[in-house]
Structure 1
Amino acid sequence: MNRKNFSCFIGIDISKSNFYVAIIKDEGTASYVFENSKKGTNAFIRLLRNQRIDLEYTLMCMEHTGVYGRLIIAKLAEKQANFCVEMPVQIAKSIGVQRGKNDKVDAIRIAQYASKNYREMQLFVPIPQILEKVKILLKVRRKLVNTRADVNKYPNELELFSPELGKLAKNNHKRINRSLDAEIKRVEAEIQKLVLSDDRLNKTIGLVTSVIGIGKITALHFTIFTNFFTRYDNPKQLACYCGVVPFEFTSGSSIFRKSRIHPMANRTLKKHLHMSALAAINHDPDIKAYFERKVEEGKNKMLIINNVRNKLVHRVCAVVKRQEPYVKNVA
C-alpha cells in the first residue's frame, strides 16, 4: 500500500443484521452501529460526510465475512474509498492476547489493527462482474454435485450387505439422478456461455487448460480466486495459497518434526489441484516418468503427488505470464 498520511482509521465489524463502526482520529475513538442494509450503508456515508472525514486520507478495514459484507463493500468501492478486507485470523493473531469480545470492541480492535499495520496491508480490489457470476454458478454446481454424491451413497452401501434391497433403492434413485445430471449440465452450459461472452476470461481459461491435467472447472477456480492471476507476486506465493508448499517445523535441538503443509490454505483449489495431479500422472509422459522414478526411489506417494501439484501451479503461472499455451515436450 502507498504510504499515505492517513489521518483517520476506521474499523468495521459486520454481522448479518448490523455493522459496528469504530473511528480513530487524533481526538480519540468513537463508535457507532448501523443496520446492514442499503439504508444503513447510506447512513454510514452521511456520518463520514457530516464529520468532515476525508476519504482520501482515511483507511477502513473489515474482516472477510462473505455475503454479509457485500453491501458495505459495494458502497465503499462506489465512493472510491481506501479499504482493506482482511482474514479474521490475521487480525486475531496480530493483536495478541485479548480478554472478552463483542461487536463494538471488535470494531475498535480492527481499527487499531489498521492503524498499526497499514503499511503491510493491501487495498481491496473487487473482482470483475463476470467472475462474480461464474463464482455463483460454480457454487451452485458444487452443491448439485455434492447432493448427487449423497443421494447415491445410501444405495451403494446397502447393496454391499443386501443386493436385492440395494437394487430396489438404486432403481428408485434413477429419476433423482437424471434430474440432478440434467441440472448440472444446465449450469455447466450457463458457465460456458459466460466464459465465451468475455474475451479475456475465454483466453485465460484456454491458456490454463492447455496445461495437461488442468480441467475447465479447476481453471475457473484459479481465475476467480486470483482475480485473473493478479493476487500474487510469484508462483511460490500462489503455490503456498493453494496449500502445496511444505513448511519446516523445528526449534533448537528438541523439536524436529517433518515438514508439513499448513492447514490455512484454499481448500477448494487444493482439492481440484489434487485431482489435476492424478490426471497429469496418467496423461502427461514427463510427469508420469517423474512419478514412477520417485516411487522407485522409495519416496512417499503423497509427497510425490504434492510435488506434481506444485509443478502444475508453476506451469499455470508460466503460461499466463507468457500468454502462450503450454507446449508438451516432444522427444
Structure 2
Amino acid sequence: MTIAVGIDIAAKTFDMVIRRSGKPSKPSTFKQTPAGHAAVIKQLKKLKPRSIVMEATGIYYLDLAVAIAEAGLPVSVINPKSFRHFCALKLNGTKTDGVDAALLAEYGERMAPRLWTPPRDLYLKLRDVGRQINRLTHSRTQAKNRLHALTSTHMTLALLIEDEQEAITMLDRRIDRLTQAALELIEQDQTLSRHMQNLCAAKGVGQATAIAVLAELMVLPDSLKAPQVSRYAGLDIRLTQSGSSVNRPARLSKAGNAYLRSALYMPAMCAVRHDPRAKAFYDALVSRGKKKMQAQCAVMRKYLTGMWACIKDETAFDSSQLFSEEHMKA
C-alpha cells in the first residue's frame, strides 16, 4: 500500500493529510511548536510513508522540515509555484488548509518529488542571528526617527528624550553583541570565511551586509539558479498605471525574502554612486524610460546574482562580470 503525506504550513499550526492508495484521510491539525512537531513525527514513523510533501512557505516550513528530515523520514519541500500549477491542472477551486494538504499528498503520490536536504546546523544558527540583527536594526531606525521627532520641538519633556536615547544605546549594544556572535560562527567554518571575504570585495558591501547576505543564502539549496534566487528575494517591480490619470511610483512587490531585499538595498545605492559600471547600467535604464526604482531593483538583482556566484564558485565579487562594457561607452 502506497502512503503519501501532505502538510500545509501556517504560522501557528499545520494540517496533515494521509493519502493511502489514492484515498485521502481527513486533515489533522497540529501546533507549530516542538511538541507539535514531535507528535506528528511519532505518527509518521508508524506510517512509514513513501513521500511527505510541504511547500516552501515563508520561514514557517523550515523548522518542521528539519525535524522530519533529522528523524530519517522522506520529506520533500516543493516550490509554491509548482504546486499552484498542479492545483490548476486539478481544476480545484476550493482553497482551505485541509484541501491544500490533501493536494500536497496527491502531488507526492503522483509526482515523486526529490527529497529535501536540510541546511547545516551552523548555517541555520547564522540565519537566526542574522535575522535578529535585522530586526534590531529596524527597531533602532524607528527609535532614531522617534528621537528626531521628539527633539524637533521645545515642548518635549527631557525625560522622554533621555528614555529614547537609552533605548538606542541598548539596541546598539545588542546589535554589537549579535554581530560578534555572527562573526564567531563564520570564523568556525573556512568556507563561510572565504565567502565573507569574497562578498566584501563588492562596492558598498561591508561586514553587516555580508553577514546578512550569508545568513540568507547559505540555507538555500546550491542547485538553485540565479533567476530562482532573485525570485526568492522578491526582486520584482509592481507598477500601478491606468489611463492618463493614474501613474504611481514603481515599488518593489515585497513578495519574497524581506531580509535579502533589506540587505541589498543600500549596497545597490552605493554601487550606483561609486561603481562606474553599475552607474552606467543604472543611467542607461533610466534614459530608456525606466523608473528610478525599477533601475535600482535591476542593480539589486545584478548584485544578488554576483553574490550567488561568489558563493557557488567561491570567487571574489567582480562587477565586470555583471555589467556590460557597452553601457560605459554611452
8 A Cα contact 2:269 2:296, kept in partner = yes
Alignment of 1:279-290 (within 5 A): 279-290=270-281
Please state if 1:241 is matched with 2:232. yes
Change (3 A) 1:177 1:283: same
Instruction: Give the match for residue 187 of structure 1.
Output: 178
The equivalent of 1:301 in structure 2 is 292
Query: Which runs of 5 or more residues in structure 2 are unaligned?
Result: 240-249, 321-327
Deviation of residue 124 (structure 1)?
A: 2.2
Which of 89, 93, 96 is equivalent to 1:98? 93
How far apart in 2 are the matches of 1:49 and 1:328?
Answer: 50
- 312-321 vs 176-185, which deviates more? 312-321
1:273 Cα offset (Å): 1.7
Unpaired runs of 5+ residues, structure 1, are 1-5, 249-258
Aligned-partner Cα distance in 1 for 2:295–2:128: 33
Question: Counterparts of 1:48 and 1:190 in 2: how far apart (Å)?
Answer: 36
Please name the residue that 1:30 is paired with: 25
Distance 1:220 1:94, change over 3 A: farther
Counterpart of 2:5 in 1: which secondary structure? strand
How far apart, CA to CA, are the structure 2 residues paired with 1:95 and 1:203? 42
2:121 equivalent to 1:129: yes
Per-residue CA deviations over 1:180-208 (Å, capped at 9, x if unaligned) read: 21121111111111111211111112112
- 2:243 corresponds in structure 1 to none
Which structure has the bigger radius of gyration?
Answer: 1
1:271 matched residue in structure 2: 262
Amino acid at match of 1:326: F
2-side partners of 1:269 and 1:29: how far apart?
Answer: 38
Instruction: Output the aligned Cα RMSD.
Output: 4.0
Contact 1:11 1:61 in 2 (8 A): yes
Deviation of 1:32 (Å):
6.6
Distance change in 2, residues 1:60/1:157 (3 Å): same
> Which of 103, 109, 113 pairs up with 2:107?
113
Relative to the length of structure 1, the TM-score reads 0.74
Q: Who is 1:254 aligned against?
A: none
2-structure distance, mates of 1:113, 1:140: 35
> Shift of the alpha carbon at 1:67?
7.3
Q: Which residue of 2 aligns with 1:251?
A: none
Counterparts of 1:195 and 1:211 in 2: how far apart (Å)? 19
For residues 38-69 of structure 1, give each alpha carbon's deviation from its aligned partner in whole angstroms, at most 9, with x where no partner exists.
66655555545555x4x5xx111124567765
Give the conservation status (yes or no) of the 8 Å contact 2:52–2:76: yes
Question: C-alpha displacement at 1:307, in angstroms?
Answer: 2.5
Aligned to 1:173: 164
Q: If the length of structure 2 is used for normalisation, what is the TM-score?
A: 0.74
Distance 1:17 1:317 in 2: 32
More divergent stretch after superposition (34-43 vs 72-81): 34-43
Identity %: 22
Change (3 A) 1:76 1:262: same
- Residue 16 of structure 2 corresponds to 21
Distance in 1, matches of 2:54 and 2:103, equals 10
Alignment CA distance shift 1:86-1:38 (3 Å): same
